[in-house]
């Protein structure tokens, strides 16, 4: 059986390691190159001992000649670097990017939030922002697939269909999201060394977190008048995201109706799961999976509900979604490489 050859750029970060784990159990994939800068010559198992059992190439510094040998390039790089690499792509290369480099269609908005001038403006039109459960465009029309951010994934999956059907009021959406510290990358330990990272809860990016640009962009495709507040928090757990979303309902709409609608909307989507009405949820239910788990809870106010959305930030909010998008692009079974023993 002929396998697709893959290059992973940014292979040693938390997302890169998670991606390699999925690709190792994917029956259609051969990992040809693992690229990094500070880790050249090392085995990838140096960063995760569970990868010892797989025959994997040693880490090398990226060279454009490698693009001749691969079908797919995954980039799990700092923002700005996938743009540069995208300018080197050959006609036979598919780029699947896990950074923010092609998420934002407006270069001015991108610069405002990420403080980088875009270095591959011509490639933006060749890219698609693809959240599988809500995007109905033909992914095969594009050579660059931009994977959504972790927070937006947990937020857009439940809210986009509700906004489209006008089942929630759009003028006062409160989003309170809490993430494991892996979402901040390996540098988080140094950045928060004086903040008691492992025993404290920290809010950050209040009002201006860069994922606001992504959320606003996607909401604006439905309505320009969506008013929301998004506040993220860093928690003393390694992985997982729990978004608590406070919603006002129009007259005649109940929590039960919201749950019923979402269940029907996602009835054919394997990775979207639901708790019973009024059952709170935990990130523990989604860890090491590509699932998004949703729960609807009533409050003491008739027209207000709390919607909970939980994902694993490294999988559904990162590497797993990248593999899911790859599977869709090549017509593979959508869960290939995404099911394993925990």
**CA 278 to CA 296: how far, in whole Å?**
6
The CA-to-CA distance between both ends of the chain, in Å, stands at: 28
Cα Rg for the chain, rounded, in angstroms?
A: 20
CA 115, chain centre distance (Å): 21
β-pairing verdict for 228-235 and 202-203: antiparallel
Angle at 243 between CA 329 and CA 109, to 5 degrees: 65
CA-wise closest residue to 36 among 1, 60, 68: 60
Whether 147 sits among the annotated catalytic residues: the reply is no
Q: Which two tokens stand for residue 186?
A: 């390996």
Q: Are 269 and 335 in contact (CB under 8 A)?
A: no
Q: Which two tokens stand for residue 270?
A: 């394997």
Q: Are 280 and 308 in contact (CB under 8 A)?
A: yes
Q: Are 133 and 290 in contact (CB under 8 A)?
A: no
Phi, psi (deg, nearest 5) at residue 304 = -130, 135
Is residue 40 within a helix (H) or strand (E), and if so which, with residue range?
Answer: none
Q: Exposed, middle or buried by CB within 10 Å (0-12, 13-18, 19+), for 239?
A: buried
Contacts of 224 (CB under 8 A, 6+ apart): none
CA distances 220 to 112, 173, 262, 317, Å, are 18, 14, 21, 21
Annotated catalytic residue, options 24, 35, 147, 150: 150
Q: Which two tokens stand for residue 60?
A: 């090398």
* Catalytic residue numbers, as ranges: 150
């Amino acid at each position: 059986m002929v396998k697709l050859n893959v290059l992973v750029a940014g292979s040693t970060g938390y997302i890169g390691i998670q991606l390699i784990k999925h690709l190792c159990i994917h029956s259609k994939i051969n990992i040809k190159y693992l690229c990094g800068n500070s880790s050249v010559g090392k085995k990838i198992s140096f960063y995760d001992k569970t990868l010892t059992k797989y025959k994997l190439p040693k880490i090398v510094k990226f060279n454009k000649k490698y693009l001749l040998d691969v079908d797919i390039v995954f980039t799990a790089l700092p923002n700005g670097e996938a743009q540069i690499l995208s300018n080197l792509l050959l006609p036979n290369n598919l780029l699947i990017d896990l950074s923010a480099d092609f998420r934002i269609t407006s270069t001015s908005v991108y610069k405002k939030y990420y403080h980088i001038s875009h270095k591959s403006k011509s490639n933006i039109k060749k890219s698609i922002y693809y959240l599988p459960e809500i995007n109905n465009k033909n992914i095969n029309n594009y050579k660059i697939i931009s994977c959504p951010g972790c927070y937006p994934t947990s937020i857009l999956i439940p809210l986009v269909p509700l906004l489209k059907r006008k089942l929630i009021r759009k003028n006062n959406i409160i989003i309170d999201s809490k993430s494991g510290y892996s979402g901040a990358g390996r540098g988080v330990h140094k950045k928060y060394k004086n903040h008691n990272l492992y025993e404290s809860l920290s809010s950050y990016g209040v009002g201006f977190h860069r994922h606001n640009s992504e959320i606003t962009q996607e909401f604006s495709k439905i309505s320009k008048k969506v008013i929301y507040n998004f506040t993220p928090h860093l928690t003393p757990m390694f992985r997982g995201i729990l978004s608590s979303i406070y919603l006002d309902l129009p007259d005649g709409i109940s929590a039960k109706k919201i749950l019923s609608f979402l269940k029907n909307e996602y009835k054919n989507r394997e990775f979207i799961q639901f708790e019973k009405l009024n059952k709170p949820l935990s990130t523990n239910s989604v860890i090491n999976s590509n699932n998004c788990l949703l729960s609807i809870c009533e409050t003491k106010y008739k027209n207000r509900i709390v919607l909970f959305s939980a994902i694993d930030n490294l999988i559904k909010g990162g590497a797993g979604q990248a593999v899911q998008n790859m599977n869709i692009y090549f017509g593979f079974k959508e869960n290939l490489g995404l099911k394993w023993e925990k």
